[in-house]
Amino acid sequence: MRTRTLIAIVDDDRSVRDSIENLVRSLGLTARAYASASDYLLRARDVEVALLITDFQMAGLTGLDLLQEIRRNGELTPVILITGLVRPGIARRAIEAGALACLNKPIDDCDLIELFGKALGPLS
């Protein structure tokens, strides 16, 4: 029996969290949102996350820090980094750290859904 697929969303911008969470739920998937990387690390310990979407730039631990931390812990969860920063090298750093992708904000829903398929397999 297949368990429900949980997609975790980590972003310090509530409107971004809500928007992605609504998209995930519209696809029939389960979402859980976190306001910071630290919050995610504290509250998601006993949760099986199928995909993590995190903002690159946040106060405290950044999305890149979060990605590096979960990789150090041996977690292979696919990670999509999102960013409002348009600086050379950000996407390269994310991919080199093990991210599935790095998307610029505002995020195109179709691009995100395509990445869901790559990370989770067919959605239908």
pLDDT in tens, the chain (124 residues): 334 579 999 999 999 999 999 999 999 999 999 999 999 999 988 889 999 999 999 999 999 999 999 999 999 999 999 999 877 788 999 999 999 999 999 999 999 999 999 999 887 6
How many residues make up the chain in this entry?
Answer: 124
Domain count, the chain: 1
Give the model's pLDDT for residue 3. 46
Question: CATH no. for residue 65?
Answer: 3.40.50.2300
What span, in angstroms and rounded, lies between the C-alpha atoms of 77 and 100? 10
pLDDT number for residue 124:
62
Phi and psi at 107, nearest 5°, equal -85, 135
Range(s) of the domain holding residue 39: 6-120
What are the helix (H) ranges across 1-124? 14-26, 37-43, 63-72, 90-96, 109-120
Q: Which residue has the tokens 């610029």?
A: 104
Residue 16 domain flag: yes
Q: Name the pTM for this structure.
A: 0.93
1 belongs to a structural domain = no
What is d(CA 110, CA 47) in angstroms, rounded to the nearest whole number? 27
